[in-house]
Amino acid sequence: MKRFAVTRTSRRAVEPALRNCALVLAVSVLAGCASLSDDGAAREVSTLTQPRTGFGVAPERNERDAQAGREQVARLLSAPLTPDAAVQIALLNNRGLQTSLAQLGVSEADFVQAGRMRNPGFSFSRMRGGDEVEIERSVMFDLIGLLTIPLRSAIESGRFEGAKLSAASEAVRLAGETRRAYFNAVAAAQTEKFMRQVVTSAEAGAQLAQEQAKVGNWSTLDRAREQAFYAEAMTQYARSRHAATAARERLVRLLGVWGAQLDVKLPDRLPDLPSQPSEAGALEALAMEQRLDLQIARRDVEATARSLGLTEATGFINVLEAGYASKSSTGAPRENGYEISLELPIFDWGGARRARARATYMMSVHRTADIAIRARSEVREAYSAYRTSYDVARHYRDEVVPLKKQISEEVLLRYNGMLASVFELLADSRDQVRSVNGAIDAQRDFWIAETELQAAINGSGGAVSQSMAPGANAGPAAAAEH
């Protein structure tokens, strides 16, 4: 930033009138500027996240905030976790999000700073040459800064707005990721429990086979087959146990809990399917209003429009925003900024710069249109995934599982009549467990698809489309035959 020092050299004295004048000017500029908010703009971010995730955000800026947060998290963790509670904890506790919120504070400070003039400077020098003593006094005043306050304020305001949207976008993304991790963790735990039943069933079979062989009813071959099935079931169970641990740890990371809080209680089962799926309706239109990436892009268009207008008007004031708000990303803070320079229009009357500003503006416009088109498509795809996973989960619940249950009942009746053996009964019970696991997977897929749909409408979309692969619980193909 270039500074322009107002210097006045006097060999006698500084005139009081000028001093007074400078002070009046400074005070008048300072009086009209923005001030820092008391919560680092969290309230405004909350306004954005509340309708999208159900919860606001709370920056943790001091020990009092931290204490309140810890208490709320402890309270939420005391009961089996619900999806909403998980989201709430993540919004309170996730350090990544806190980083974004702190970043927001930085932006706000920049914005406030931009509305303030630099303090006037005063310099005094005394020089002596021979008999002559020269005393130079000067008052320095940031004139360029003063002239560019409205400009800088407008730009910083836009950047601040962008930061708020980014923080909200981050929060919404975190909420979605947390819900996904939550459903995965609950489903994996449920699957683990059912795989334990497969092991029990295989264990019973192996035990019976051993007894059968011991009393001479069975050959070593028959016994070994049943034993092998058990051995295989154990490895599968071990895998499912690790899968449950991994899913739980993913959730724990998002919740940002550690130490004593690690004892997160998950419910025994996933939430029931809603009785009706929501209709497609005007989801695309809704997404156009709600999506945060679109809002960020729109704001960017407005900002570039303003700078274009400015460039058109002045020509020799060079305002370049180095970047537009891109899709939110964690990690290093964005390194975009701006530079304002005043030039004397002697050689360049600004034609190229105006062309550049226009092109930059058009870039923003096209980018926004692109994001909108993608968003519409993402909503349609997410709805299809949502609807399909709902139908599949309901089909599992209403058709597949009851049928398997009926089969099990019939096999038991056949066992009662000595029409089927206990080994068939056990093989069937394992079959049934597998279909139950399929149902759990389907139910989990539904809730994740629901989360993705919300993200496509409310957040920034971009979620990976779920594959509709069948539950990956293929156990040993069939029970050993006897």
Partner 1 sequence: MVSRRDLFTGAAALVGAGVVSRVGAASLPEAVMVHSAATQVPPPPPNGRPFHPVVTLNGWSLPWRMNKGVKEFHLVAEPVVREFAPGMKANLWGYNGASPGPTIEVVEGDRVRIFVTNRLPEHTSIHWHGQRLPNGMDGVTGLTQKGIQPGKTMVYEFEAKRPGTFMYHPHADEMVQMAMGMMGFWVTHPKNPDFMKVDRDYVFLLGSYDIEPGSFVPKTSTMLDFNLFTFNSRVFPGIDTMVARQGERVRIRVGNLTMTNHPIHLHGHEFEVTGTDGGWTRPESRWPEVTTDVAVGQMRAIEFVASDLGDWAFHCHKSHHTMNAMGHDVPNMIGVAQSEAAKKIMSIIPDYMAMGSTGGSMGEMEMPLPDNTLPMMGGQGPFGGVEMGGMFTIMKVRKDQKRGDYSDPGWYKHPAGTVAYEWTGAPLEAVRNTSSGGQSMPAAAPARKVEFNVRKPSGHSGH
* Burial (CB count <10 Å: 0-12, 13-18, 19+), residue 478: exposed
Q: How far is CA 327 from the centre of its chain?
A: 11
Residue 207: CB minimum distance to partner 1, A: 4
Structure tokens at 323: 């970047």
Select 175 or 199, whichever has its Cβ closest to partner 1: 199
Q: Which of 352, 418, 469, 477 binds partner 1 (CB under 8 A)?
A: 418
Residue 202: CB minimum distance to partner 1, A: 10
Select 198 or 372, whichever has its Cβ closest to partner 1: 198
Q: Which of 19, 408, 462, 476 binds partner 1 (CB under 8 A)?
A: 408
Q: Which amino acid is at 471?
A: G
Q: Which of 51, 129, 130, 417 binds partner 1 (CB under 8 A)?
A: 417
The answer to whether 392 touches 442, Cβ cutoff 8 Å, is: yes
Distance CA 307, CA 313 (A): 10
Q: Which of 135, 144, 208, 228 binds partner 1 (CB under 8 A)?
A: 208
The one-character DSSP state at 347 is: S
The one-character DSSP state at 94 is: -
Q: In terms of Cα–Cα distance, which of 22, 258, 1 is closest to 119?
A: 22
Segment lying near partner 1 (by CB under 8 A), choices 79-87, 139-147, 201-209, 445-453:
201-209
- In degrees and rounded to multiples of 5, residue 192 shows phi and psi of -60, -40
Residue 211: CB minimum distance to partner 1, A: 4
Segment lying near partner 1 (by CB under 8 A), choices 148-156, 203-211, 297-305, 352-360:
203-211
Q: Which of 100, 166, 201, 454 binds partner 1 (CB under 8 A)?
A: 201
The one-character DSSP state at 405 is: H
Distance CA 59, CA 291 (A): 23
326 lines the binding site for partner 1 (CB under 8 A) = no
236 lines the binding site for partner 1 (CB under 8 A) = no
Q: Which own/partner contact pairs does 12-16 have at CB distance under 8 Å and 24+ positions apart? A: 14/137, 14/139
Q: Which amino acid is at 351?
A: G
Number of H helices, E strands in the chain: 13, 4
Segment lying near partner 1 (by CB under 8 A), choices 64-72, 210-218, 256-264, 358-366:
210-218
212 lines the binding site for partner 1 (CB under 8 A) = yes
Residue 393: CB minimum distance to partner 1, A: 24
Spatial CB neighbours of 210, under 8 Å, sequence gap ≥ 6: 223, 227
Select 82 or 212, whichever has its Cβ closest to partner 1: 212
Spatial CB neighbours of 67, under 8 Å, sequence gap ≥ 6: none
Distance CA 270, CA 190 (A): 8
Residue 473: CB minimum distance to partner 1, A: 16
Spatial CB neighbours of 416, under 8 Å, sequence gap ≥ 6: none
Q: Which of 425, 448, 453, 457 binds partner 1 (CB under 8 A)?
A: 425
Q: Which of 298, 358, 374, 414 binds partner 1 (CB under 8 A)?
A: 414
416 lines the binding site for partner 1 (CB under 8 A) = yes
Structure tokens at 24: 């009046």
221 lines the binding site for partner 1 (CB under 8 A) = no
289 lines the binding site for partner 1 (CB under 8 A) = no
Q: How far is CA 418 from the centre of its chain?
A: 58
447 lines the binding site for partner 1 (CB under 8 A) = no
Q: Which of 23, 286, 373, 422 binds partner 1 (CB under 8 A)?
A: 422
Residue 225: CB minimum distance to partner 1, A: 12
Segment lying near partner 1 (by CB under 8 A), choices 57-65, 248-256, 383-391, 425-433:
425-433
Interface with partner 1 (CB under 8 A): 197, 200-201, 203-205, 207-208, 211-212, 215-218, 408, 410, 412-423, 425-426, 429, 482
